[in-house]
């Protein structure tokens, strides 16, 4: 089961549906607006942390990076655009088996 923690951004909009379509089973979103959010631990079942760099301050970003490294959870940084998120997740290997499409040969 794939579980993803997204940090940053007030609303994810259609990104959630697109991630579910790619096979991500659980999406946890933390906006990072409140200072006390940086004190919480990353859930132990999370496979990957994705930080949306457009919508997060440097202090919170550094705190989440430190926690991810401490807990040995891979952390990636991306802009909020779908193409940036998809490229990062594909690079991470989280989508590797789910996004490969079969090529069908057509004889004709």
Residue 100 binned pLDDT confidence (cut-offs 50, 70, 90) = very low
Beta strand spans in the chain (E): 3-7, 26-30, 48-52, 75-78
Best CA proximity match to 1, nearest among 34, 24, 31 = 24
The DSSP output letter for 21 is H
Q: Quote the percentage of the chain above a pLDDT of 70.
A: 83
Does residue 101 register a pLDDT over 50? Answer: no
Best CA proximity match to 10, nearest among 50, 41, 49, 56 = 56
Residue 102 binned pLDDT confidence (cut-offs 50, 70, 90) = very low
* Integer Cα distance of 49 and 76 in angstroms: 6
Residue 60, pLDDT score: 86
pLDDT in tens, 29-82: 988 777 667 677 889 899 999 999 887 888 888 889 999 999 999 999 999 999
This prediction's pTM: 0.81
């Amino acid at each position: 089961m794939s579980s993803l923690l997204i940090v940053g951004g007030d609303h994810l909009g259609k990104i959630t549906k697109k991630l579910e379509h790619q096979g991500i089973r659980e999406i946890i979103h933390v906006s990072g607006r409140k200072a006390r959010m940086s004190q919480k631990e990353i859930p132990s079942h999370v496979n990957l942390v994705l930080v949306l760099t457009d919508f997060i301050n440097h202090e919170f970003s550094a705190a989440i990076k430190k926690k991810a490294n401490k807990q040995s959870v891979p952390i990636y940084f991306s802009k909020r655009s779908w193409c940036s998120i998809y490229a990062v997740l594909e690079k991470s290997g989280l989508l590797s088996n789910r996004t490969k499409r079969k090529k069908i040969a057509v004889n004709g």
